[in-house]
Structure 1
């Protein structure tokens, strides 16, 4: 279907992020298992619960607006998930892998922040006042997760990775 109106764009973007969130629900348990840092594993598990709630919110938006999602696959998330698999496959378990997982997870969060920011702006423009709070709640969660990942990196994750890299050299 061609995108010809702002409503078409909204539905396309909502369909895209729905696909992204569904892909993420499959990837997060793998990231949690691949982490050697218990705090990072917990962060991934917590975000899995949030992501499942975000999928439910999209379902609520669809129901509120009486729209139908398109069957599309979010190529951006597919690439980000693939990067996560490459990290797991190519970096030995430990602080360096954890640092890479944090970086990869932040790429995901930044993508989601951009997507939900766009959806919220479109919803506002379209007058979707019932859907807007749901989208803004998810946007807030995504920003919060990004902040938590930054704190994990700053509170020692990256320093541990640097120390283990120097020791290995």
Structure 2
């Protein structure tokens, strides 16, 4: 599919984000198992539940605009970010340093998602997709909140423990 219109771009970006969310659902359980900090492991588990809701929300976005149909594409950016997280697991012994690395990897994912959902919200508004904009805005707020929670976990002890190793 060639991208010629703002609607084409919206469909492409939404499809890419859908792929990203699907990949995240497979990565988060691995991150939770790899974490030694209980709060961090719990945050990954909670975000997995949230991510399932975000996927459902994308389905609702598609339902809200009858002319939209998701394309089957793979988000290569998310694939790379998840690969970086796997490298942290593979290369760093379980403990505070790995936890700090997991937080860093997860925050890269969150920042990517914040950018993706921010762009989708703007396009949805410009295209007049009010319900879609509201749904995507809910997810954007969740992604920002998750990023904040990860920062809190890092600052509340994980980074301190990692720096004394």
TM-score norm. by structure 2 comes to 0.99
What residue in structure 1 maps to residue 11 of structure 2?
A: 11
TM-score norm. by structure 1 comes to 0.96
Secondary structure, in 3 states, of the residue corresponding to 1:131?
Answer: helix
Q: Is 1:60 matched up with 2:60?
A: yes
CA displacement at 1:39 relative to structure 2: 0.2
Q: Deviations over 1:93-151 (max 9, x none)?
A: 00000000000000000000000000000000000011111000000000000000000
Q: Is 1:94 matched up with 2:91?
A: no
Q: How many residues align?
A: 164
Secondary structure, in 3 states, of the residue corresponding to 1:4?
Answer: coil
Distance in 2, Cα, partners of 1:131 & 1:156 = 38
Structure 2: stretches of 5+ with no match in the other structure = none
Distance in 2, Cα, partners of 1:59 & 1:124 = 18
Equivalent residues in 2 for 1:49-128, closer than 5 Å: 49-66=49-66, 67-128=68-129
Structure 1: stretches of 5+ with no match in the other structure = 165-169
What residue in structure 1 maps to residue 162 of structure 2?
A: 161
Distance in 2, Cα, partners of 1:76 & 1:96 = 25
Secondary structure, in 3 states, of the residue corresponding to 1:3?
Answer: coil
Q: Structure 1 residue runs of 4+, over 4 Å off?
A: none
CA displacement at 1:2 relative to structure 2: 1.0
RMSD of aligned alpha carbons: 0.4
Distance in 2, Cα, partners of 1:62 & 1:24 = 20
